[in-house]
Structure 1
Amino acid sequence: MFSVIFEVHPHAHRKDEYLALGKQLKPILESIDGFIDNERFESRLRPGWVLSHSSWRDEKSLVRWRAQGEHHVVQRKGRDEVFEDYHLRIGEVIHDTAPQERSSDGRRLDETETGIAKVASFTEITPEGDVDLTERLGELAQQIGLTSASDLVEHDLFASLYTPGKLALLASWRDVEAAETFVPKPIAGVKAMRHRTVRIIRDYGRFDRREAPQYHPPVSR
């Protein structure tokens, strides 16, 4: 299974436009053979940043999505008009505590050459009932055991735009060994937790597209 980790910072007052573009593409996205799911979150540590995380059966599924005409049109509009910045990582899921799709038999062993972090972990945290986990955001990383992990490059906490109360912890690691040392601890008030580890194959953004699969003219800061 593959994950697409798309962090985007829309220009001021254009977040709703970005979300509307995503809604416009939703029926097409869901029709792509191999698409599994997609959820959007907003950062609680970096104001203005939005995370779109999508799951795919295999890399061929992603190729079908990239080749879709309207998707390409919306990509260009976002890049040229809506986005102030973005960071896109594509990788293979090498560990999943709650897999929803059978993994492909193939295994990609290559990894990003541009990104410092070769692996990302994505932990979805669903609270019990009316428990508000955002009231203890400052303690959450420590409670889950992240702060004691070694070779952590960076992390962010996101709140779901689709599921009230749900959070996601996105952490970046120097290598697989470092990522494997992080096993999320149970937290009081949490109903469910899904933890995935993703080996990053492509890592690129608005200002550095060396690993991008498609050409766009260079953009200067």
Structure 2
Amino acid sequence: MIVVTFRAHRTEAGDGPAYYDALARMEAIATTLPGYIFHKAYRAEDGERLTFFQWESLETLDAWARHPDHVATKRLGRAELYADYHLQVCEVLRESRFNR
């Protein structure tokens, strides 16, 4: 399993309709791709946002990274929507669960 963390601060435009339209399009595509498991987003008090993704494999993540609509949206993000971001791709080495 592959875990991706995407930490970012948005620009002013990144809090507007262009961002939310792009987000809706990307979620509609990503959630239907083979290998997608889930994602969740969080916001810190300082405005930093964290999105946490899980994919079945590097191959399925790479297919998402190369998807033409995603490539175009990443360009838009760098050009207009994000002030900065930090992306990490990690392989799960061990997993543990507890449920009451």
Residues 13 and 81 of structure 2 are in contact (CA less than 8 Å); yes or no, is this contact kept in structure 1?
Answer: no
Instruction: Mark the runs of 5 or more structure 1 residues left unpaired by the alignment.
Output: 99-191, 193-221
Give the drift of 1:14: 2.4
> 2 CA distance for matches of 1:94 and 1:23?
31
> 2 CA distance for matches of 1:42 and 1:19?
15
1:5 corresponding residue in structure 2: 5
Amino acid at match of 1:36: I
SS in 2 for 1:64: helix
Instruction: Mark the runs of 5 or more structure 2 residues left unpaired by the alignment.
Output: none
Give the drift of 1:15: 2.5
1:80 corresponding residue in structure 2: 79
Paired residues, what number? 97
2:55 corresponding residue in structure 1: 56
Give the drift of 1:12: 3.0
Q: Which has the higher contact order (CA 8 A, sep 6+)?
A: 2
Amino acid at match of 2:15: K
User: Against the structure 1 CA distance between its residues 13 and 80, is the aligned structure 2 distance closer, same or farther, given a 3 Å change threshold?
Assistant: closer
1:37 has 2:26 as partner = no
1:15 has 2:15 as partner = yes
Deviations 1:7-38 (A, max 9, x none): 01001362344344222211110121111001
Whichever of the two has the greater Rg, that structure is 1
Amino acid at match of 2:67: Q
TM-score after normalising by structure 1: 0.41
User: Against the structure 1 CA distance between its residues 51 and 20, is the aligned structure 2 distance closer, same or farther, given a 3 Å change threshold?
Assistant: farther
TM-score after normalising by structure 2: 0.87
1:169 corresponding residue in structure 2: none
Give the drift of 1:79: 0.4
Residues 14 and 80 of structure 2 are in contact (CA less than 8 Å); yes or no, is this contact kept in structure 1?
Answer: no
Amino acid at match of 1:78: G
Pairing 1:176-195 to 2, within 5 Å after superposition? none
Residues 6 and 88 of structure 2 are in contact (CA less than 8 Å); yes or no, is this contact kept in structure 1?
Answer: yes
Output the aligned Cα RMSD: 1.6
> 2 CA distance for matches of 1:14 and 1:26?
16
Identity of aligned residues (%): 25
SS in 1 for 2:31: helix
1:97 corresponding residue in structure 2: 96
Amino acid at match of 2:50: L
> 1 CA distance for matches of 2:86 and 2:96?
25
1:189 corresponding residue in structure 2: none
